[in-house]
């Protein structure tokens, strides 16, 4: 059984939230895969993880290289797990269809995008059976509250 977390972004954009959650995953000793819906968004996330804070960076690579298996964080547009990640983030329209093979799935979606909210509701219905599913909503101050 996988733990699947739905993160409903409201007050802060993905660009502020994703690097912090990836960093916390690495602190736990987990390898990470970030799946996005397009090469353009993968490129933006690649740049973001190098520059999100002046005093640090998150070691990562775009999937498709000969060293994928050794990378602590991979960014991809495909449903594969070349680095043996423990946690997978789905962002920018990438939607999980299964929790199989991961300790944790994190599905991040914008509350300001009606299509993303609809997709999240469909994913919730499809994934709640056989997985530990929780829903987290962002408050105005950026903190997360578990709603379900």
Residue 10: inside a domain, yes or no?
A: yes
Report helix angle 14-27 to 39-51, nearest 10.
70
Residue 36: inside a domain, yes or no?
A: yes
Strands 132-138 and 104-110: unpaired
Residue 71: inside a domain, yes or no?
A: yes
Residue 112: inside a domain, yes or no?
A: yes
Q: Are 38 and 77 in contact (CB under 8 A)?
A: yes
- What pLDDT was estimated at residue 44? 95
Residue 1: inside a domain, yes or no?
A: no
Residue 118: inside a domain, yes or no?
A: yes
Give the residue ranges of DSSP H helices in 10-136: 14-27, 39-51, 114-127
- What pLDDT was estimated at residue 140? 84
Range of the domain at 94: 6-146
Residue 35: inside a domain, yes or no?
A: yes
- What pLDDT was estimated at residue 126? 93
Report the number of distinct structural domains present in the chain.
1
Q: Work out whether the CA dihedral 10, 86, 34, 55 comes out positive or negative.
A: positive
CATH code of residue 109 = 3.40.50.10110
Tens place of pLDDT for every residue, the chain, 148 residues? Answer: 789 999 999 989 999 999 999 999 999 999 999 999 999 999 999 999 998 888 878 999 999 999 999 999 999 999 999 999 999 999 999 999 998 999 999 999 999 999 999 999 999 999 998 899 999 998 888 889 999 9
- What pLDDT was estimated at residue 141? 85
3-class secondary-structure state, position 82? coil
């Amino acid at each position: 059984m996988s733990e699947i977390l739905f993160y409903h972004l409201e007050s802060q954009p993905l660009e502020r939230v994703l690097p912090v959650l990836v960093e916390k995953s690495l602190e736990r000793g987990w390898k990470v895969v970030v799946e996005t819906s397009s090469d353009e968004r993968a490129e933006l996330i690649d740049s973001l993880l190098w520059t999100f804070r002046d005093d640090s960076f998150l070691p990562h690579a775009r999937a498709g290289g000969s060293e994928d298996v050794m990378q602590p964080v991979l960014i991809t547009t495909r449903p594969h797990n070349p680095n043996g990640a423990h946690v997978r983030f789905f962002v920018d329209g990438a939607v999980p269809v299964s929790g199989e093979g991961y300790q944790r799935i994190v599905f991040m979606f914008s509350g300001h995008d009606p299509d993303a909210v609809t997709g999240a509701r469909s994913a919730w219905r499809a994934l709640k059976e056989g997985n530990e599913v929780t829903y987290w909503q962002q408050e105005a101050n950026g903190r997360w509250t578990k709603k379900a």
